[in-house]
Structures are given as structure tokens and as C-alpha cells.
Chains A and B, each alone.
Chain A
Amino acid sequence: MLGNEAIARGALEGGMGLAAAYPGTPSSEIVESLLKVKDKLGIYVEWSVNEKVAFEVSYAAAISGVKSLVAMKHVGLNVAADPLMSSAYTGVRESFVIVTADDPSMWSSQNEQDNRLYGVHAYIPVFEPSDPGEAKELCKFAFEFSSKVRHPVILRTTTRLSHTRGPVTLGAIPRLITRGEFTRRKEYVLTPSNARKDREAMLTRWKKIMDEVNVVPFNRIEGDGKNLVVASGIAYAYVKEIIASGKVGDGWKILKLSTPYPIPRKLLLKALEGVEKVLIVEELEPVVEKEVKATLYEEGITIELHGKDLIGLPYEMSHERVYSALKSFTEGRKPTVLATSSAREALPVPPRPPTFCPGCPYRPLFYAIRRYLDRRKLNYVAAGDIGCYALAHNPPYNLQDVIINMGGSIGTANGFAHVLDSVILAIIGDSTFFHTGIPPLVNAVWHRTPMITIILDNEITAMTGHQPSPTTRGADATENYIPLESVVRGLGVNFVEVIDPFDVSQVENALSKAMEYASKRREPAVIIARRKCALSALRSLRKAGIKPPLFKVDLSKCIKCGMCYNIFACPAIYPDKEGRAHIDPGLCVGCGACVQVCPVNAIVPVDHPDTYELQKGLIEKFWR
């Protein structure tokens, strides 16, 4: 079972009645797996519009007596930080488990922030499992713990745990309570006078929590020896394996932690008995290290202690780092391996960054925008956002100059427009627009900011694995379709044009008109480029049993210009040694977008033109 699936299972075994989330790698599969069983179990599960809303949905259930879970990727908790802080003040009536999936090494993220620090900041205990099997048990336990102390609990997972499959022993799922009762209490109303009382009550609860973590069964002492290793979360798995292998000799005692904050102080003191020196192994920030150091100072204990000095700070844990740290620790020398972002390659091979899929509507769109800007030699800034389209930052499109966070494109465009004389573009996807793109667009309307926002509407949250968004049509009868153009017009934008990104001339026309409008009227213009994600279009074609048409290059016409494989850059098109283009039938999805790119019309359907016209008519509706 995948670590994330194990967390979902643990939540059900813990009695969860409601879950909400916004998708984000590496967290998405938690709520995805709960959605699969929601009808069978009668629980409420939703993809919310963003993490803050998901948090509030879940929190409301918990203060109404329904055990709940909210899940998000690490940076999602930044969006939900406001209610996070308040939830610790008010406490909860029933279990409230906040799952944060951190991404050490930044496999799919803009940073590798350590969300255990949110526990420190907000006075919320943090639980951290070491493998998928334990993730299930610990999640279940987190529900019990939260219910017992009437306080939210953070369950922190990481990429290597969320996306690792391992054996999980299933337990029983109790009767799930899905209806609650809300009792009016001053605790929930954080006006200053109430908040002060809440603050004191929270500190009282915190004392109890500090005590309770000493008896959490997932914290334990293993082995005996003069060297103590304190290992938290997945770091324990590496420490355990290397010590068990005998490669670093014996005489090791391990304090395995599943509560990195607050640490079990009594258990730590017990582990320190008979120990000569201590090594703390944890991924990312020295959260446990600082807590251990503070405890030692308060207890008046002086002992040799190592941590980040030997294990290094950034990036995920590895055998090499742990081995080197354990060796240096016993031999008293400098570590040979500290954290590195990537290993050296044996043969210099060209990089293979992720790219737009064959058939992706964004490829012709960015091709057209690039061509438009280049031909007119326009001075521009393209503010980008989080989603598949971030890949347009790479060559040949080079069309995202700033990507910082969800919704950041329209936000930063607001600023650029007031200090630069360039054409200001904001590029944002449909799901990201609903997530955090609306307030900055309102800001632009309000302040008459001349900028062009291009909303890429593929009608799904694509990058994270095709979760529905408000623009998904007919996914579920319980959900509404919200057309972007009516939202944008409703916000007061007067220039709104909906275009097909597959039509390069349509894209160019819309850009011309939008540019004129923005500069003459000094107001924001919005272009909505709508076409389905190729992966979802292909999935429905496969379901319908329709084979899409294939394309080939007429080699007698090909002039080796490279437009199709270097400038349009579809992965299905590759050059031979002479530079002539070929189309890989295993990769071509028959979208036909490349046809208009060839200056000599050398790209043609494999089948007879008449057959192709028939096929085209048949498949078009799956793409639109």
C-alpha cells in the first residue's frame, strides 16, 4: 500500500467522518483514496477550492463533534496558516488531524520547508511516521490522541513516505460518525477578550500534551550502548538499517521518535542513562536537535552532542549521509558526505526535464505566444504560476519569468504593471485561478492595472493527477460547473475572450486585441484558452474505444528547418541524422496541432485525407 493510502486507511480506522483537501504532490493520494470509498462508507469527502477552505471545512466538522482530516502539501499549509493558528487556540471537540506532506529535495515543489516548525509556531503536536505500515497505525493513533487532548494534531509525512509502497496490516473500521452537533461556546469566537482566555487554556492543554507524548507507543528506545542516536520519522528507517547491517559496529542505542514536537522529555532522559554521546538524525531543520539541546540545558546535563554538523541540513535523507554521519560520530572526524542535490553522472547525458505531453493544449499556446512576442520584438514580463504550464519556463518557450507560489502570477503582475513599461502577462491555470487567483484579479480591476491575464483552462487539476476543479464539466452530479468567463466578467473585467489554444492565429489575434485594450483603456484584459488536458481527452477516447488518427512527415517535402521538433518541440517528433523530421507512432496522439507549424505543409495524416476528416469529426468532441 502506498504511504498516502495507508494514511487514508488509518484515518478510517480512527473513525474519520469527514475529509477535505486541495491536491498537491506528494499529498494528493490521501483524499483521492478516501473519495473512492466515500459513498460506500457514507462519509463526506471533498476537494476544496484551496487549502484554507479545506482546513476550515474540516475544522468545522471537528468542532461539531465529527472526527475529521485535512490534507495538503507542505506549502499548502502556508495558505491555511491563518485558521491553523486559531484552531490551536480554540481546541476541538473531536479528532482533528492535519496532514502535511513535506517534500525534502523538492521533487515537485518550490521549496522544502519543514512543517514540523508549524507545530512549534502554533502549539500543535507533530506526529511523524517512519514507514507506510507505521503511517497507518500512527494516523489512527493521531485521531485517538487528538480526541483525548481536544486539540488539533499535525501528521507530517514526506515524499519518501507518502510515495513509498510497503506492507500495511489492516485493522477494523469502526462505525463512522458523520453527523455532529454544534454547541455555542465563547471559545470559538476569537474576539480579543475570548482569545486571551483561549490562549491560557491552550497553554494548559499544551502541558498535558507534553506529558502525554512520553507514553506514545511509537516513541521507543531500541538496543543498548554508549552511543545514542535520536532519529525521527523516516531518518529512523535509514539509521535502523545501517546499524542493523553491522557496518558501523555495535554499541548503539536508538531513541526512535514519532513525536518530533514536542519531544518526550522523560523518555529522552531515560535514553540518556549510561550514554557518552548523542547524535540526532532528522531530515531538514534541526527541530528535534534544538529541543534536545534545550532539555539538556534545563536538566543541567553536559554531554557531547551532534546533529546537523554531521548529517547536513538540506535535502532528503540517504544511506550515504547516515552512514557517513555515524562513522564520523564514532571516529570523531569530519563527515565525508553531506547533503547534495544530485549525484555525478557516469556519462554526460542530456538533461530530460519534464515537458508538455504530446497533445497538450499548452504547447501550441506557448508556441503562439512566443512567436507573437518575438515577431513584434516586444518588451515583456511573463509572470507564471504553479501547474503543468510552469514547464513553459524551459526552452524553447521561455515563458515564465517569475514563479513563486499559487496565484502569484496575477499578484506579481499587479506590481510589475506599476513599475515597468513592458507588456505584463500573467499566466495561470484554471484550478490555480480559483485557488488564489481571484483576489489579485479583483485588485487589478479595482486599481485599473493594465495587464493581460491568460487563464489556461484544461478543465481539470492536471499536474497533481487529474483531480476535478470548478471547471470540470459533468464529473459528478453533486458538483456544479463554473464557467471562468462568467466569474471573470463578474469581477468587473470588461475584456474577456475565450479562445482555442490549438489555433495559433486565434491566439495571436486575441493577444493583439488584449494588448490594445489594456494599453488604451488602462484596464486588465483576460484571455481564456480552453481545451481539455490531452491525458483526459485520450482517456475518454480509450474508454469509447476510438483510436485517434496518426500523423507522419512527408520526407520529400521536409526542409529540415526544425520548427516542429526544436521550436514547437513535441516529444513525438524527432530528427534523423540529416535533420529531417519523423513522427514516432508510439508517442503521436493524433492531436494534429503540429500541422499548422510546418512551413511547407509536410505533416500529413497517415490515413487517406477523407478517412482523416471522418476521424477528426469523430474525436473533436473528446478534446473540447
Chain B
Amino acid sequence: MALNIIVVGVGGQGILTLSKILGACAVEAGVKALVAETHGMSQRGGSVIVHVRVGNDVYAPTVPLREAHVMVTLEMLEGARYLNYVNPKFSLSVVNDKVLRPSIPGAKVPEKETILKAIKSHSALTVVVNASEEAIKLGNPAGANMFMLGFLAGLLEFMGLPMQNCCTDRIPYPSTDLGKANVAIFKRGLVEASAFLERIRGKDMKLPWLKRSFFKD
């Protein structure tokens, strides 16, 4: 089985860092993982999508349209932009409660409720998290990516891949205050994931892939 994840947001939100750690730790946990990044031009405040594919029968680097099991979005407009990767039958969308206006003259940004409605209608289940807010509280205003890394690590741990230690070992600037804040934010994300898993336990949330034996099947 292959787990397809897309991580989307705005260039500069730390999407590459998040995905790099996630992929490396999946490999360390003994499963093949491919992480397809976009560099260069797209990084300058532009729209960013990273494809993360975990599973031993993965060969191609990108996620097929409508086949993402999880979409993690650091920014809501970008979540709406990449909805053609998610599937109302089985996709989980994890949405950071943050809208960033594109800095082009007169940009018309839809209401937050409208964006969220679109994401919800395309996903089997949508979870809104306060990643940016928590990151600010814990000392790194640019640390929403660490929160999302924690959330994803929590899901993968549940699915049988040990992630936690590997991730904390790889969090940037470990000896500085910033690094300590990053670890705290990561752990906050882990807690959020456990709370989420607890909330949906035993209920039919249309996420058939979210099971402990996923990588063993």
C-alpha cells in the first residue's frame, strides 16, 4: 500500500523542511518514501505543493489526482487551489486556520467560510487546526510547519511507523531558542493528532486507510 500526502501552502512557510523530515523519518522507519519538491521560482512567496508518497510499492514521485489520502495545508487558499488532488470518498484535509492574501494589486480573496466550505465538500473529513496561532504562542511565529509535522508524525505513528524521535532529532536549530520552540510546536502537533484520533475512534469517518496495519497489508 502507498500513502499519498500532499503538503501545500505559500513559499516561505517551511513546507520543504516539513516534508524533508517526514520523508527521511519514514525511510528510517523502514518504508520507502518519495518526496517531490518544487524549488527556485516557486519559493518566493508563491504557491507551493510537495508530494510525499510512503510505501514500498511507490515508484512515481507525484501523487495522482484525486488520490491523496491526506492534504495538509499551511494556508487555506492554497488548500482550495489543490482540491483536485483530494477525494470526497477517503481524503483527510488538515487545514491551518490562516489566510494569506496574495500580494498582487486588488487581489480578491474569498471569505474564509467559503474557502473552508469548498475544502470540506471535496474531502471525506476536514480538520481545522490553529497551527500558526499555537506556533506564535510557543515562540516561533513561522513554526506552523512544525505543528503540521507533529500532526502527520502522529498519524504515521498510529499507522505503525515510529516517527517521534527521528523527527525531534531532525528539527532545525536544535541548540537555539528557536529550535526549542520548534520542538515544543512539533509536540503540540502530536498532541493534536492524538486528540483527533481519539475523537474519531470507532466512528465511521470514511478514512478506511487510517488503520494500524496500513503498512503491513
> Interface of A with B (CB < 8 Å)?
2, 25-26, 28, 107-108, 130-132, 159-161, 163-167, 234, 236-238, 240-241, 244-245, 317-320, 343-347, 349-357, 388, 391, 394-396, 463-465, 562, 565-567, 569-571, 573-575, 585-586
Contacts and interface: CB of A to CB of B under 8 A. Distances in A.
17 contacts: A26-B40, A107-B42, A160-B36, A163-B38, A165-B24, A166-B33, A237-B59, A319-B64, A347-B83, A351-B104, A352-B102, A354-B45, A355-B46, A357-B12, A394-B104, A574-B101, A585-B141
B109 to A, nearest CB: 6
Given A319-B62, A349-B80, A352-B102, A165 B37 contact: yes
A164 B105 contact: no
Interface in B154-212: none
B169 to A, nearest CB: 17
A349 B81 CA distance: 6
A176 B130 CA distance: 52
Contacts of B103: 355, 565, 569-571, 573-574
Contacts of B102: 350-353, 355
Contacts of A575: 101
B15 interface: no
Interface in B1-38: 10-12, 19-20, 23-24, 27, 32-38
Given A569-B104, A586-B142, A352 B38 contact: no
A232 to B, nearest CB: 14
Most buried by B among A164, A317, A344, A355: A164
Contact of B59 (A240, A351, A565): A240
Nearest to B106: A566
Contact of B39 (A237, A245, A465): A465
Contacts of A240: 59-60
A463 B33 contact: no
A344 B40 contact: no
Nearest to A584: B100
A346 B82 CA distance: 8
A396 B102 CA distance: 12
B11 A354 contact: yes
A377 B30 CA distance: 65
Contact of B45 (A357, A463, A464, A574): A357
B43 interface: yes
A352 B61 contact: no
A244 B57 contact: yes
A160 B36 CA distance: 6
B44 interface: yes
Contact of A391 (B44, B106, B136): B44
A241 B58 contact: yes
A395 B104 contact: yes
Contacts of B145: none
A345 B37 contact: no
Contacts of A346: 80, 83-84, 118, 122
Interface in B111-134: 114-115, 118, 122, 132
Please list the 9 inter-chain residue pairs (A to B) with the smallest Cβ-Cβ separation, ordered nearest first.
Answer: A25-B40, A354-B46, A108-B40, A346-B83, A319-B64, A354-B44, A347-B118, A165-B35, A241-B59
A380 to B, nearest CB: 20
Contacts of A586: 132, 136, 141-142
B11 A166 contact: no
Most buried by B among A319, A346, A357, A464: A346
Given A164-B34, A350-B109, A320 B10 contact: no
B35 A164 contact: yes
Nearest to B52: A165
Nearest to A240: B59
Contacts of A565: 103
Contacts of A465: 39-40
A571 to B, nearest CB: 4
Given A163-B38, A396-B105, A586-B136, 13 more contacts: A25-B39, A241-B57, A317-B60, A319-B60, A344-B84, A354-B43, A354-B45, A395-B104, A465-B40, A566-B106, A569-B104, A570-B103, A573-B103
Q: Which range contains the number of B residues in contact with the other chain?
A: 35 or more
Nearest to B108: A350
A318 B85 CA distance: 13
Given A164-B61, A586-B141, A569 B38 contact: no
B61 A350 contact: no
A294 B56 CA distance: 38
Most buried by B among A163, A238, A391: A163
A18 to B, nearest CB: 25
B61 A343 contact: no
A394 B103 CA distance: 11
A345 B83 contact: yes
Contacts of B32: 166-167
B109 A108 contact: no
Contacts of A28: 39
Given A163-B36, A565-B103, A354 B142 contact: no
Contact of B84 (A163, A319, A343, A388): A343
Nearest to A160: B61
Contacts of B83: 345-347
Nearest to B58: A241
Contacts of B46: 352-355
A391 B102 CA distance: 14
Contacts of B19: 165
A347 B79 CA distance: 10
A566 B65 contact: no
A26 B109 CA distance: 32
A566 B19 CA distance: 33
Nearest to B37: A163
A344 B65 CA distance: 11
Contact of B23 (A165, A238, A343, A350): A165
A161 B60 CA distance: 10
Nearest to A132: B34
Nearest to B36: A164
B4 to A, nearest CB: 10
A234 B62 CA distance: 11
Contact of B110 (A234, A347, A388, A569): A347
B47 A345 contact: no
A347 B114 contact: yes
A565 B11 CA distance: 19
A345 B8 CA distance: 14
A481 to B, nearest CB: 26
Contacts of A566: 105-106
B24 A350 contact: no
B151 to A, nearest CB: 20
Most buried by B among A319, A354, A566: A354
B34 A107 contact: no
B33 A167 contact: yes
